[in-house]
Chains A and B, each alone.
Chain A
Amino acid sequence: MGPVKQRIASEDYVTINVGPSHPAMHGTLRAIAYVSGETVLGTDLEIGYLHRGVEKLGENLTYHQFIPITDRLNYCSAIANNVAYEMAVEKLMGVEVPVKAQLIRIIMTELSRIADHIVLVGILGVDLGAFTPFFYLFIQREEIYEIFEWYNGARLTNTFGRIGGVESDLPEDFETRWHELKKGLEKAIDETDKLLTHNRIWMDRTIGVTPISAEDALSWGFTGPCLRACGVKRDLRKDEPYSLYSQFDFDVPTGKHGDVFDRYMIRMIEMQESMKIIDQAFDLYKQLGPNEPLMAKVPKIIKPPEGEVYHAIESPNGELGFYIKSDGTDKPYRIKIRPPCYMIFQAFDELIQGEMISDLIACLSSLNIIAGELDR
C-alpha cells in the first residue's frame, strides 16, 4: 500500500498493475494505478527492477573500465552516456581533447540522439495503436546502428570513445553511408509525419493529454525535450555550450503546453536539427587531415588528481550529468549519475491524475523513461 492509495478518499476504485512486465512498459517499471472506471485516480510508482548498482560498480572499476558500464544506462543512446562520462573525467583531469576527436564525438552523439528519438516516436506510435511508423523509423535506426558497427564494431552497447579522445577514425565509407542514411531518415520522418501528425485520431490522443506548465516542470526538475515542450528554451548545447557546439548553427525547438503532442513534435524537429549539426560537423571534419590526433596525451593508467567534478551534457533525454569524486587513485571514490529520467518520472503521478488509462500509456511513452537510466 503506497502513499497515493491513502490519499485517495474514495473507496470506489480498482487497482491495476501496469508493469513490471506489461507490453507497454518501457523496461521494467511498475505503476500501480488506482482507477475508477477508466479514470486514473493516482499511481504508486515502483522503480528499482533494473537496479544493478552502477554507481557502486564504478567505485570498484578503473576510470577506463567504467566506460562500458555507462553503455548500460540509457541503452537507446549509449554513445551519449559514454561521451558524458568521458567528458567528466577529462574535465577532472584537465585534458584537452583534440578537435578531430571532438568532431567525431559530436557526430556520433547526434546520431545516437536521432536513434533515441526514433525509439520514442516509434514506441509512442505503437502505444497509441499505430504500428506502421514504428517500422519505417526503426529501419533507419538500423542504418544508424550499421554506422556504429562499422565504426567500432558494436551496435547497441558501443563503448564509444576513450578518456582523452576516441579510439578510431571514422570509417572511409562514412560519407556515403551518411548521405544514404540522411535521405532515408528524411523520408521516414516525413512519412511518420504524414501518418500521424495531422491525423485527427492522433491529435485527439495527444493534444492536451497530460500537460504540464513551465513552472511546474522546472520545479520538478524536468530537462531536455520534456522541458522544452513546456516552452522553456533550455538546451545545454546552447546555454552552456560544451565541446564545439557553439560553432554550429541549429535551432532549439520549443513547445507550448507540455502535452504529449508537443513532446512528440519536439522530438520530430530535433531529429532534423541533429541532422543539420552532423552535416556541419562533418564539413569541419573533412577539413582536417587524416593524421590529426584522435587522442590527447593521457597516461596509460588514469589517475586524476584529487578533487570532484560535475559535468553534464544534453543527452537525448535531457541533462545527463556525471559527478565524480576522485581520491587520486586509479579508481573513482564516488560516481553519481544524474539521469534525466529520474526527475521526470517523479512527476508522473501528478501528470496522470484524472486522466484515463490509455493516457497513462501515452504519457509514459512520451516522457521516454528508460529503466536502465532510471534505476542505474
Chain B
Amino acid sequence: MNEWTIAIIKVVFIWSWTLLIATIMTWVERRGSALIQDRLGPNIAGPFGLFQPLADGIKLFTKEEFAPKHAHKILFTLGPVLFAIQAFSAYAVIPFGDKIVINAKEIVLQVADVNIGFLFVLAVGSLAVYGFVVGGWGSNNKYSLLGGLRATAQLLSYEVPLGLAMLAVCMTYGSFSLREISLDQAGTFLGFLPNWGIFKQPLGFLVFIVAAYAEANRVPFDLPEAESELVAGYHTEYGGMRLGLYLFGEYVNLYTLSALMVTIYFGAWHIPYVDMSSYLGPLAYGIVSFLVFFLKCAFFLWLFVWVRWTIPRFRFDQLMGLGWKSLIPLGLLNLFVTAFLIQITV
C-alpha cells in the first residue's frame, strides 16, 4: 500500500466514523434527555430504538427540498453546505488513536499530522460562522437573521478564550502539533499525577470547556437557535436534507470538540500509570488506543447532552459578558501564569 491509498482509507474511515457518531448522537440525545426527564424516548425502531437515527436519516433524505419563495436561492443552499464542510474537515488534524502496524508498515492514526494542528482547528472551526450567517441571511427571515447574527457574535467572541486556552497548552508542551502533544502526555509528573493536560492546565481546561460549549452552540449557549425566542434561529426555514446537514454538522462539531478536549487535556489514548504498548502486540495496541480514545470522547459527548438537559440558557448580553469579562481575562491570566511557571522551571 502506498501512502496515497493509506491516506484515502484514513479519510474515508474518519469521515464515515464521524458521521456514524453524529447519527448515534441524535439517538443518545433523544434517549438520554428522555431518561433524564422521566420519559422513555424513541424505543420502537430496533433494539432500544437504535435504528431511530436511520429512520430520521431516511426521512430527512426523502423529504422535498423546499425553499421559501423569498429566500436567496444560492445562499439558502450554500449555508448548510458551508457548515457541513467545515464540520467534516476540522477533524483532519486530530488523532483518533496512536498508531497501528499492519504488514510491518506503521500507520499513524491521524489523517494529517501537520505541525500547525492547533491553528488548523481554530481556522476551520471559525468557518462555521459562515454556515450560520449565510444560512440565516439566505432564509430571508427575521428570526433566521437574528439567529445568524447571534451566532456570528457568539462564535467570534468565544474563539478568543478558546484560542487562549489552547495557546497555554501549546506553551506547556512546546508544540503546535496535536500528535506531539498527545505523545507528551504519557507517564506522570510530580511523581504521582498522570501527565495530562488537565492537571497542568486546570484553569485553562475550565476556560476551554466553557468556550467549547459556546462554539458548539449547546445549552447554555444555544442562543442562535434558542427555540423559545427565535423559533429555531438560523435554521427556522430549513427542512429536509438541508436541515439534516445543520443537525449532523452540529453533532460532528461536538465530536471534534470532544476529541480536541481529550487530545489536549485528557491524555489522548493514554491510560494513566499503564503503558499499553508494552503489553499488547502492535495491531492490538492500535485498536486499543483507538478504543480508549473513543471512550474518553464518548464521556464528553455524553457531558454535552447531560448539561444541555440540566441548565437554563443565557441571555445574549450575559453571554457576551461572560465571554469578554470573565473567560478572556481568565484565559490571559492562565497564559501569564503558564509563561511564568515555564520561565522559572526551565
A and B touch in the complex (CB under 8 A): yes
Q: Is the CB of B312 within 8 A of A202?
A: yes
Please provide the chain B residues from 221 to 245 with a CB less than 8 Å away from any CB of chain A in the complex.
Answer: 222, 226-231
Q: Is the CB of A132 within 8 A of B228?
A: no
User: Distance in Å from the Cβ of A190 to the closest Cβ of chain B?
Assistant: 15
User: A361 interface residue, CB < 8 Å from B?
Assistant: yes
Q: Is the CB of B314 within 8 A of A201?
A: yes
User: Distance in Å from the Cβ of A84 to the closest Cβ of chain B?
Assistant: 31
Chain B residues whose C-beta falls within 8 Å of the C-beta of A22 in the assembled complex: 231
Residue of A nearest to B308 (CB): A131
Chain A residues whose C-beta falls within 8 Å of the C-beta of B38 in the assembled complex: 135-136, 139
Given known contacts A16-B142, A131-B37, A358 and B226 CB-to-CB distance under 8 angstroms: yes
Q: Quick one: which of B39, B143, B310, B312 contacts A128, CB cutoff 8 A?
A: B312
Q: Is the CB of B312 within 8 A of A357?
A: no
User: A24 interface residue, CB < 8 Å from B?
Assistant: yes
Per-residue interface assignment for chain B, residues 269 to 298, with 1 indicating a CB less than 8 Å from any chain A CB and 0 otherwise: 000000000000000000000000000000
User: A126 interface residue, CB < 8 Å from B?
Assistant: yes
User: A204 interface residue, CB < 8 Å from B?
Assistant: yes
Please provide the chain B residues from 192 to 237 with a CB less than 8 Å away from any CB of chain A in the complex.
Answer: 219-220, 222, 226-231
Interface size on A, residues (CB 8 A): 32
Q: Is the CB of B318 within 8 A of A204?
A: yes
Q: Is the CB of B315 within 8 A of A205?
A: yes
- Give Cα A358 to B230, complex, Å: 9
- Give Cα A136 to B151, complex, Å: 31
Given known contacts A131-B37, A135-B37, A139-B38, A126 and B311 CB-to-CB distance under 8 angstroms: no
Please provide the chain B residues from 119 to 154 with a CB less than 8 Å away from any CB of chain A in the complex.
Answer: 142-143, 146
Q: Is the CB of A130 within 8 A of B311?
A: yes
User: Distance in Å from the Cβ of B217 to the closest Cβ of chain A?
Assistant: 12
Q: Is the CB of B314 within 8 A of A204?
A: yes
User: A199 interface residue, CB < 8 Å from B?
Assistant: yes
Interface size on B, residues (CB 8 A): 27
User: A3 interface residue, CB < 8 Å from B?
Assistant: no
User: B64 interface residue, CB < 8 Å from A?
Assistant: no
Q: Is the CB of A129 within 8 A of B39?
A: no
Q: Is the CB of A199 within 8 A of B312?
A: yes
- Give Cα A358 to B36, complex, Å: 26
Chain B residues whose C-beta falls within 8 Å of the C-beta of A14 in the assembled complex: 142
Q: Quick one: which of B39, B143, B228, B316 contacts A356, CB cutoff 8 A?
A: B316
Q: Which of B33, B146, B313 has the most CB of A within 10 A?
A: B313
User: B317 interface residue, CB < 8 Å from A?
Assistant: yes
Q: Is the CB of A356 within 8 A of B317?
A: yes
- Give Cα A127 to B312, complex, Å: 9
User: Distance in Å from the Cβ of B144 to the closest Cβ of chain A?
Assistant: 12
Please provide the chain A residues from 131 to 186 with a CB less than 8 Å away from any CB of chain B in the complex.
Answer: 131-132, 134-136, 139
- Give Cα A313 to B310, complex, Å: 37
User: A290 interface residue, CB < 8 Å from B?
Assistant: no
Residue of A nearest to B222 (CB): A129
User: Distance in Å from the Cβ of A197 to the closest Cβ of chain B?
Assistant: 11
- Give Cα A327 to B313, complex, Å: 55
Q: Which of A15, A131, A195, A196 has the most CB of B within 10 A?
A: A131
Q: Is the CB of A205 within 8 A of B312?
A: yes
- Give Cα A83 to B231, complex, Å: 37
User: Distance in Å from the Cβ of A154 to the closest Cβ of chain B?
Assistant: 25
User: Distance in Å from the Cβ of B191 to the closest Cβ of chain A?
Assistant: 37
Chain A residues whose C-beta falls within 8 Å of the C-beta of B51 in the assembled complex: none
- Give Cα A129 to B309, complex, Å: 9
User: A23 interface residue, CB < 8 Å from B?
Assistant: yes
User: A255 interface residue, CB < 8 Å from B?
Assistant: no
Q: Is the CB of B228 within 8 A of A129?
A: yes
Given known contacts A132-B37, A136-B38, A201-B311, A38 and B228 CB-to-CB distance under 8 angstroms: no
Which B positions have Cβ atoms within 8 angstroms of A?
33, 36-39, 142-143, 146, 219-220, 222, 226-231, 309-318
19 A-B pairs (CB sep. < 8 Å):
A14-B142, A16-B146, A24-B229, A38-B146, A38-B316, A126-B228, A129-B219, A129-B220, A130-B311, A131-B37, A131-B309, A132-B37, A132-B310, A195-B311, A204-B314, A357-B229, A358-B229, A358-B313, A359-B315
5 closest Cβ contacts across the A-B interface?
Answer: A129-B313, A130-B312, A135-B37, A24-B228, A127-B228
19 extra interface residue pairs, beta carbon distance < 8 Å, beyond A23-B231, A204-B318, A358-B226: A15-B142, A16-B146, A23-B228, A125-B312, A129-B226, A129-B311, A129-B313, A130-B312, A131-B37, A132-B36, A134-B37, A201-B313, A205-B314, A205-B315, A205-B318, A357-B229, A357-B230, A360-B229, A361-B228
